[in-house]
Structure 1
Amino acid sequence: MEYVGEVGAVRYSREAGPVERGRGAGLGEHGRGAGLGEHGRGAGLGEHGRGAGPVKRSREDAPGDHAREAAPGDHAREAAPGEHAHEARLMEPAREDRPVDLVTALARARSPENPGPDTPAGPAVRAWPGPPSPIPEARAGELDLRALLRLSLAASDDSGRLRPAPSAGALHPVDAQLVVGTRCPLPPGRYGYDPLRHPVHRLGREPDGALPGATVELSVTPQRTASHYGHRAWPLLLLDTGHAAAALWLAARALGTYASVPRLDGLAEDPLAAVHFAPPQRVGRVSQPEEPSDVPAPRELLARRSAPPPLGGTPSRDVLRTLLTTAVQASADELAWCAAVGEPQPELVELAPDGTLRRLAAGEARPTLAVWAAGQAWIADAGAVLLAYGCPADADAARIRRTHLRAGFAVHLAHLTAVRNGLAARPVGSWQQADLGAALGAAPGRDWIVHGLALGTTHPDEEKTS
């Protein structure tokens, strides 16, 4: 069944307070009106004046993944001559002799172009050289690497799909190397981590100046994600890396001893991110992002799963305020945040300077978000959708990396906060033509949706039994 909703046109306002309804201004019309969307023609907020058709049903992701699905028939399309070679160049790991053109890759990922047919994903885990070694149990005064990795990166099933950090399509492209210093159960050195079987492979000696404790460096194997998402892979790779960094950081907090400082500055291509963990005796107050007010329990991190749709029921305004606060603090001023809310009064809300909620725009945005999010119709019925936006079209590679890493990090923390408040939640990572700023009447190309978190008060299993 296709979803074609009716959305009244609205007038946009950045001031707190009510937003007046208007007539005839579609949200996506880039300057011909500042409304939230005229969806009666099946395009709505994301119309951009051309080509966005009605929201279509699509194949579901497996539970625990970012939500993205291809529109019907997009995998059946034959690739044009040379297209796979061009895609492969964009998907290959960065190397000094062949760097990834991230600016071009992001522009293409944001376009309406559909991915081609699926290609082989390759091994679920990187083939590290050398024999595997178990991670020893930590002794008194040592960093508990085994517990830290099990609470953050380790798979809980034989296929490797179920892990504490979500991943688009459960493809898990993020690889981890450990730079181990003193006061760890492993001898100092550099190690590759196998999240499927949980051993490490010694790769060499530690670099000069390695800190006590351990640093986990995160890089990606692009082909795992590109195998299904094609040219849309690079934003998802960066978001997945941000989620993995957040999972590591939360694991340290859950263990109650170690201070971690995430590096998410976007300056390096490899590793994309790093998180350092100090040994127990030297834990102190270090510079780190704001976190949920209470410490998570290990069981909460292991139980985190992305809820399968549908996600019905609008969260309370108090809970939305808490989620927006968590996301804003965790994103370190790299992104703006709002939430598209459904019943009883559809609107976009954001945090005011005093910490309360204020209206960003009035009107129904969710059907258009469903169009923008690879045509996933269930998003039109979600209770609310938390949105990170920014990363302008002229952003350089470092800024692209930084904003996407921060978005993944922040959405992961918001996801945990949502679950702790009794909500069902599911990350939404793939967005096409999602120029939210232009849709709201601002200059085009400045405020693109980078990441989302769909929310509902009703869990799917409850809906089945009701």
Structure 2
Amino acid sequence: MSATDHLPGHAHRAHRPTRPPGLPPALARAFAPDSPGPALPPGPRVNPWRGAGAAPVAAPDRERDLLAALWSGEGFHRRADGTPTGIRRRPVPSAGGAYPVQTHLVVGAGGALEAGRYVYDHEHDTLLRRDDTADRAAGWTAEDANDRAAGTHVVLTVQPGRSFGRYRHRAWPLWVADTAYALAAVEFLIGADPARVRLGPGAPLRALLGVPRAAEPDRWLGRGLVPEIPLAALELPASWAVAPGRRDALAGRRSPALSEFTAAARHRPRADGADRAAAACGQAWVRGAHRLATWSVAVHAPAAAVADALWRSHRAAAGLCYAGALSGRWRCRPVSGFSATGGRWTVHALAMLPGDPSAAEGAAP
């Protein structure tokens, strides 16, 4: 397994946890210890929107800075033995280095970009404008550009195959996790409250982005695209800019290697709850965390409460992760894949090691 960011727990555990009864069986299976099995082809790293009529455009300075700060990284993830993989490191973490999140802009009148729908190709650092005529001809949209919402919206989608290819039945919580970390990164970079944040999935986000349901794959595949699921939309405030210090902090963020946690466990007392967390997620390295933050939900919580807990926990964890990078005090590694203990599910955790060795032991990120 490559040394990536937040890793779901190991497949084989000594006990089978109770699945959340409030979830449909297909979703509840994500919390089972069943092995995902051999990896499947994950699909393209970015959708080939040019084949669907999208054309490159020059991005204004602010938008270019934001998109690059999210996804333009240096170097590659490394395997446990230290050898590099073919997976490029990016500022925003992703479970298993799958990087399913795609970034779109929906722009109303009066912005630096002409009104329309845009998609960012993070593999080639290129902003593309979608073809309104082609979208209407395919039955994806019906309105004119003038009917779109005012302002500029950053819409985050996932290509589900990117995570499903590796994690199968465990993939859907990771779609939320990766989107939440990307959403928090946008908020962190602009350093200002967004005008509005909407969470999905659902018809309002699909309408904003002008795409069909991912459950209608033929409508995507017929245009040479793989399905995407819009999961979050953030309306940028009227006045915003990428803060250089925050951009540099995010670019320099690295999840500590598992070997660092393993070594730390031998040399200092463990964080409160580290043994329980390590047992619940099947990842012994968690015992080496200097600090450990966890978020949980009752096993019998209804589906809406589970969804809310997933969004809240991952957005909060991302905020801690990025704040630690900005202060230099903490280096953070997200943790997923927990089983239930004591009637609660730990839906996410953040394992931390000191960044600056001179930082105060109890200092917050």
Partner of 2:139: none
From 71, 74, 98, give the equivalent of 1:171.
98
Matched, 1:300 2:229: no
Counterparts of 2:200 and 2:158, CA distance in 1: 16
Secondary structure, counterpart of 2:348 in structure 1: strand
Q: Paired residue for 2:174, among 194, 215, 236?
A: 236
Matches within 5 A, 1:21-420: 59=1, 61-63=2-4, 65-68=5-8, 70-71=10-11, 103-128=24-49, 129-138=52-61, 144-156=62-74, 161-203=88-130, 204=132, 206=145, 208-212=147-151, 214-253=152-191, 259-264=194-199, 270-280=229-239, 296-312=245-261, 344=269, 347=272, 365-373=273-281, 375-390=282-297, 392-396=299-303, 398-419=304-325, 420=327
For 1:154 and 1:130, the matched residues in 2 are separated by 24
How far residue 418 of structure 1 moved from its aligned partner, in angstroms, is 2.6
The answer to which structure has the higher helix fraction is 2
Of stretches 163-172 and 125-134 in structure 1, the one that deviates more from structure 2 is: 125-134
| Native 8 Å contact 2:67 2:120 kept in 1 | no
Partners of 1:307 and 1:425 within 8 A in 2: yes
CA distance in 1, matches of 2:182, 2:171: 16
Letter in 2 for 1:126: N
Q: Alpha carbons of 1:201 and 1:109: their partners in 2 closer, same or farther (altered >3 Å)?
A: same
Q: Which amino acid aligns with 2:29?
A: R
Equivalent position SS for 1:389: strand
Cα separation, 1, equivalents of 2:47 and 2:298: 30
Q: Is the 8 A contact 2:103 2:155 kept in 1?
A: yes
Query: Residues of 2 paired with 1:215 and 1:164: CA distance?
Result: 21
Where in structure 2 are the equivalents of 1:387-466 lying within 5 Å? 387-390=294-297, 392-396=299-303, 398-419=304-325, 420-431=327-338, 433-435=339-341, 438=342, 444=343, 447-457=344-354
CA 1:153–1:399 in 2, change beyond 3 Å: closer, same or farther? farther
On the 8 A contact 1:369/1:379 being kept in 2, the answer is yes
Counterpart CA distance in 2 for 1:276 and 1:182 is: 14
Cα offset for 1:307? Answer: 1.5
- The alignment covers a number of residue pairs equal to 297
* CA distance, structure 2, for counterparts of residue 168 and residue 263 of structure 1: 22
Deviations 1:202-258 (CA, angstroms, capped at 9, x unpaired): 22354724122x1011121111111111211111111111001011111212xx7x8
SS in 2 for 1:196: coil
- Structure 1 pair 132–162 and aligned structure 2 pair: CA distance change class (3 A): farther
CA RMSD of aligned residues (A): 3.4
Mapped contact 1:260–1:276 kept (Cα < 8 A) = yes
Identity %, equivalent residues: 31
Partner AA of 2:42 in structure 1 = A
Query: Structure 2 counterpart of 1:218, which letter?
Result: L
Q: Counterparts of 1:274 and 1:146 in 2: how far apart (Å)?
A: 18
8 A Cα contact 1:264 1:406, kept in partner: no
Q: Distance in 1 between matches of 2:202 and 2:297?
A: 18
Tell me how far 1:181 sits from its aligned partner. 1.7
Contact 2:163 2:171 in 1 (8 A): yes
Q: CA deviation at 1:422?
A: 1.9
| Residue equivalent to 1:51 | none
* CA contact 1:236–1:430 (8 Å) conserved in 2: no
Letter paired with 2:55: P
Closer, same or farther: CA 399–62 of 1 in aligned 2, 3 Å: same
Structure 1 unmatched ranges of 5 or more: 1-58, 74-100, 139-143, 284-293, 316-341, 348-364, 439-443, 461-466
AA aligned opposite 1:237: W
| Structure 1 position 149, deviation (Å) | 1.1
Report how far residue 157 of structure 1 moved: 5.7
Report if aligned partners of 1:115, 1:230 keep a CA contact under 8 Å in 2. Answer: yes
1:409 CA displacement: 1.4
Question: Hey, what's the Cα distance between the residues in 2 that align with 1:418 and 1:170?
Answer: 21
Between 199-208 and 381-390, the greater mean CA deviation after superposition? 199-208
Q: Distance in 1 between matches of 2:169 and 2:69?
A: 31
Question: Partner amino acid for 1:137?
Answer: P
**Could you tell me whether the CA contact under 8 Å between 2:295 and 2:346 is conserved in 1?**
yes
**How far apart, in 2, do the equivalents of 1:346 and 1:250 lie?**
27
TM-score, scaled relative to structure 2: 0.71
Is this contact kept in 1: 2:330–2:354, CA < 8 A? yes
Q: 1:392 offset after TM fit, Å?
A: 4.2
Distance 1:152 1:168, change over 3 A: same
**Cross-structure match for 1:56:** none
> How far does the alpha carbon of each residue in 1:28-58 deviate from its partner, in whole angstroms, 9 at most, with x for none?
xxxxxxxxxxxxxxxxxxxxxxxxxxxxxxx
